[in-house]
Amino acid sequence: MFELLGITPQGLVAQLLVGLINGSFYAILSLGLAIIFGLLNIINFAHGAQYTMGAFVAWIGLTQISQWLGFPELSINYWFALIVVPLVMAGFGLILERTMLRRLYHLDHLYGLLLTFGLALIIEGMFRHWYGISGESYPAPELLQGAIPLESLGIILPKYRVWVVIISLTVCFSTWYVIERTKLGAYLRAGTENPKLLQAFGINVPLMISLAYAYGVGLAGFAGVLAAPIFQVNPLMGSNLIIVVFAVVVIGGMGSIMGAILTGLGLGLVEGLTKVFYPEASGVVIFVIMAIVLLIRPAGLFGREK
């Protein structure tokens, strides 16, 4: 059947894997956007720039920091970066929330969008100024280099890509578990529903809001580290991605955590399949789906109007 369409099973599997990887990134990023939107009522336009920044911080840790600090042996490897970079990014997010975003909560949502848009331009512009747009390469860790051959199917799976899919799904579903099944998550959901009432019960809501933003930014940084060995570390890597993620968020609706994860993964796969069957449309297929969803179910697949 595949031969009839001029598509080999290898090609199909390869594109599905690429789709799944893109889907994992969509899922992590839209999850972060959904958490931030839930508590802060702000669409974090800087999410893509923060993802870029995560990748750059990882790359700087691996190659540059030894020169900066004057210790030639010092180099933060991939595994450390996976932990350190999200923490650094979360700290960065905390500072942004405390110094800037906090001042906008009493205003129209649009100001949050505009402020974070400005932040995105600053971050993107600075990396472009320092490192140009050519991109830097970040090697995958030795443990994950090479590929797993699946001879029975006649395909090979690159180890690093399989790892990315597994670890991002783990992170997404643990986040879902924490939010939907634990006490901390219950506070978080209550804060989304009615922050004033929650505060009246003695919960430190402003702190929770800060931490939610920090967590969302941390997730973006984490996705950046994961992406560094796959894509070139490039100042523009985030801004192109974030627009697609916005479309994903519109399709899924931001009301549900699981909805954000599933929509992200699903649309990644759809995009991968489109690359196999009709490559010309792969760039726009998500936007077309968005238009259709807007016509049929304006609130989004998992959404409720807020």
- Nearer to another protein (CB atom), residue 158 or residue 264: 264
| Residues contacting another protein: total by CB under 8 A | 43
Q: Token digits for 206?
A: 């402003």
- Distances from the Cα of 173 to the Cα of 28, 168, 257, 260, 271, angstroms: 10, 9, 9, 11, 22
Q: Read off φ and ψ for residue 203, nearest 5 degrees.
A: -90, 140
Q: Between 76 and 256, name the residue whose CB sits nearer to another protein.
A: 256
Pairwise CA distance, residues 151 & 116, whole Å: 48
Interface with another protein, residue 290, by CB under 8 A: yes
Cβ of residue 204: shortest distance to another protein, in angstroms?
25
Binding track over 207-246 against another protein, x by CB under 8 A: --------------------------------x---xx-x
Contacts of residues 13-18 at CB distance under 8 Å and 24 or more positions apart, as own/partner, are 13/153, 13/155, 13/157, 14/155, 15/272, 15/273, 15/275, 15/276, 16/269, 16/272, 16/273, 16/276, 17/157, 17/158, 17/161, 17/162, 17/165, 17/272, 18/161, 18/272, 18/275
Closer residue to another protein, CB minimum distance, 120 or 165: 120
CA 218 to chain centre: 10
CB of 126 to another protein, least distance (A): 6
146 vs 298 by CB, closer to another protein:
298
Span 69-128, contacts to another protein by CB under 8 A: 100, 103-104, 107, 109-111, 113-115, 117-126, 128
Integer Cα distance of 35 and 15 in angstroms: 30
Q: Is residue 35 part of the contact set for another protein (CB under 8 A)?
A: no
Question: In the complex, what is the shortest distance from the CB of residue 19 to another protein, in angstroms, rounded to a whole number?
Answer: 18
Of 14, 20, 39, 43, which lies in the binding site for another protein, with binding defined by CB under 8 A? 43
Note whether 298 binds another protein by CB under 8 A.
yes
Residue 262 touching another protein (CB under 8 A): no
State yes or no: residue 129 binds another protein (CB under 8 A): yes
Report whether 249 contacts 20 (CB < 8 A). Answer: no
Q: Is position 301 an interface residue for another protein (rule: CB under 8 A)? A: no
Specify the residue for token string 């796959």. Answer: 230
Three-state DSSP class for residue 90:
helix
Q: Looking only at residues 147 through 206 of this chain, which bind another protein when binding is defined by CB under 8 A?
A: none
In the complex, the residues that contact another protein under the rule CB under 8 A are 37, 43, 100, 103-104, 107, 109-111, 113-115, 117-126, 128-129, 239, 243-244, 246-247, 249-250, 280, 283-284, 286-288, 290-291, 294-295, 298, 305
